[in-house]
Amino acid sequence: MSKTILLCFSILIINHLAAQPELENAATVERNVIYGMYSGLALVMDVYYPEQPNGYAVLQISGSGWTRPLGYEARILNHQGHVKSDGEPLLEAGYTVFSINHRATPRFTYPAQVEDAQRAVRFIRFHANRYGINPDLIGAIGGSSGGHLVSMLGVLGGDEFQRDDSPINLVNAKVQSVIARAAPASFIKGQDANYFLGFREKERLVEGSIEYRIAKEASPISHVTPDDAPILLVHGDADETVLFSQSERMFAKLQKAGVPSKLVGIEGGGHGFNFSGAANLPDLPKIYIQWMDKHLRGF
């Protein structure tokens, strides 16, 4: 093998390894666990085990705009910085963290992403004994498009998108605690995501149209009912990608329905898990753990 080929091969290996998030508080990691297959396409997740497990699981979904590049070298969704930001505090607190990849636009539009998120919850719940977690109390955390998906996991009934009668697909997909950062709440008012929904804006805004109906169906705010999972909303008030008003409206709807909820506004915070530009950023890891402990562990 020539030195040039050997060097290129070494660089490819290094780049691959660098892409895999290394979480300091993980005792062990299971990489690329297949939680479902879609027409031969593997849906994968990484499972991070804590040093001292508390017996509870949290599903983590990174933001992506629901989209990935079409090329074979596209970076996998759960290899982003969101995983460390979300996962390390949870691992330190004893939570087993499941970070997922899902189908994405432009090849796959709504509801593929929601279907995959629900499938991941079903898979985790079905294999609860294997992972040493409580199947009845599962949390979810995500930001931006990931925040939208975890919100859907908290407000939907959990029996949607059961494509067949396989044992895993018959398991309920509702989670019991949600942390949603900068999450789109409504595709009818304030959030443009036509590429995700798969149609043009002018039809989407026509009340009574098929496009309007789908946009409403894809909006977490449309599904809020009193039996929803407790939801913590965290949002920068200077966010220009997903407006702060999205979380304000979602919070108001949750409060009206009597759902345990809280809105943490980040002064000066922009879009992204680190809330760039924020003034006096609160101790978010502490807030996240307190929320999960209260609504999963009961203290």
Answer yes or no: is 10 within a domain: no
pLDDT at 163: 79
State the total domains in the chain: 1
Q: How far is CA 243 from the centre of its chain?
A: 18
pLDDT at 19: 57
Which residue type does 31 have?
Answer: R
The number of CA neighbours under 13 Å toward the Cβ of 246 is 32
Q: How far apart are CA 85 and CA 260, in angstroms?
A: 24
Tell me the two tokens of residue 96. 């087993």
Q: How far apart are CA 85 and CA 62, in angstroms?
A: 10
Question: Which residue segment(s) compose the domain that 245 sits in?
Answer: 25-297
Answer yes or no: is 158 within a domain: yes
Residues 6+ apart with CB under 8 A from 279: 267, 268
pLDDT at 80: 82
Q: How far apart are CA 144 and CA 296, in angstroms?
A: 23
pLDDT at 161: 86
pLDDT at 8: 42
Answer yes or no: is 4 within a domain: no
pLDDT at 1: 45
**Residue given tokens 């402990």 in the structure block:** 293
Answer yes or no: is 41 within a domain: yes
Answer yes or no: is 233 within a domain: yes
Question: Are the beta carbons of 188 and 146 closer than 8 angstroms?
Answer: no
Q: What is the pLDDT along the chain (299 residues), one digit of tens a residue?
A: 444 433 344 434 334 444 568 888 788 999 999 999 999 999 999 999 999 999 999 999 999 889 898 988 888 888 888 898 999 999 999 999 999 999 999 999 999 999 999 999 999 999 999 999 999 999 999 999 999 999 999 999 999 988 788 999 999 999 999 999 999 999 987 777 888 999 988 888 889 999 999 999 999 999 999 999 999 999 999 999 999 999 999 999 999 999 999 999 999 999 989 999 998 899 999 999 999 999 999 98
Q: What CATH number did the domain enclosing 186 receive?
A: 3.40.50.1820
Answer yes or no: is 160 within a domain: yes
pLDDT at 11: 38
Answer yes or no: is 34 within a domain: yes
Answer yes or no: is 14 within a domain: no
CA distances from 77 to 64, 132, 229, 250 (A): 7, 25, 25, 26
